[in-house]
Amino acid sequence: EIVMTQSPATLSVSPGERATLSCRASQSVSSNLAWYQQKPGQAPRLLIYGASTRATGIPARFSGSGSGTEFTLTISSLQSEDFAVYYCQQYNNWPPQLTFGGGTKVEIK
Amino acid sequence: QLQLQESGPGLVKPSETLSLTCTVSGDSISSNNFYWGCVRQPPGKGLEWIGSIYYSGSTYYNPSLKSRVTISVDTSKNQFSLKLTSVTAADTAVYYCARHVRVGATCFDYWGQGTLVTVSS
């Protein structure tokens, strides 16, 4: 089973600043990685797939990078609506399995 | 616009079976391109993939839940259903229905709003 580890667990950032979130896979997942944003009381929303491709309607301030075992989600200038929990998900060994990371909470500093 | 809607009891007793139905609207569940999945989230915790089903009935399950999970599909009703047996308090969670592509970028692009299921006597 591929284990996905996200760091840090919580990131405190001021509005307008850059946020950098990390996701590490226990073995290579190539570029088969997605990022999601989840706000309280809402379902997750797909942000990035293929490690770096923004999903439809996602603002350009969200960018993804990395391949293999190390991945980064960058939010270039945090807006008030960006404070949320972010999850990575690998799909390299689909089928049969899909795996999420534990999440990073981005909070207001 | 594709929509997924979860429905089912909000309270299940320990050792009993949790049942959830996901109704798809705005697209056919019989599409060649997509799997239909279930994801759960315990209160205050992260996301856990439970399993996925293709319209043909082909299924894949999370190994950690496989012995207790069954996902089935009813194409005539455009629905798929989750059954989780022998539940405990650890199964208390918000349960989501979601769609992902069959091949390629297998990530979840549409989600239901989720439904909280509490396991308690």
Q: Do the Cβ atoms of B106 and A91 come within 8 Å?
A: yes
- In this predicted structure, the answer to whether residue A75 has a pLDDT above a threshold of 90 is yes
Contact partners, residue B44, CB within 8 Å, separation at least 6 = none
On the 0-12 / 13-18 / 19+ scale of CB atoms within 10 A, A72 is middle
Residue A18 φ then ψ, to 5°: -90, 140
Structure tokens at B32: 């060649």
Q: Which of A98, A100, A104 to mutate to test the interface with B (most CBs of B within 10 A)?
A: A98
One digit per residue, the tens of pLDDT, for chain B of length 121 reads 999 999 999 999 999 999 999 999 999 999 889 999 999 999 999 999 999 999 999 999 999 999 999 999 999 999 999 999 999 999 999 999 999 998 888 999 999 999 999 999 9
Query: Which of A46, A98, A103 is opposite residue B49, by nearest beta carbon?
Result: A98
Using only C-alpha atoms, chain B has a radius of gyration, in whole angstroms, of 14
Contact status, residue A49 vs residue A34, Cβ threshold 8 Å: yes
Count CB neighbours of B67 within 10 A. Answer: 9
Report the half-sphere exposure of B83 (CA within 13 A, side-chain side): 8
Residue B102's pLDDT is: 87
Q: Is B109–A97 a contact, with Cβ atoms under 8 angstroms apart?
A: no
Q: How far B111 CA lies from chain A's nearest CA (Å)? A: 6
Of residues A4, A7, A21, the one with CA closest to residue A82: A21
Closest among A94, A95, A105 to A40, alpha carbons compared: A105
Mean pLDDT of A61-72: 98
Contact B108 A36 (CB under 8 A): yes
pLDDT in tens, B75-98: 999 999 999 999 999 999 999 999
B60 to chain A, closest Cα gap in Å: 6
Contacts of B101 in chain A (CB under 8 A): none
Sign of CA dihedral A4, B48, A35, A99: positive
Region of residue B90 (phi > 0: left; psi between -120 and 50: alpha; otherwise: beta): alpha
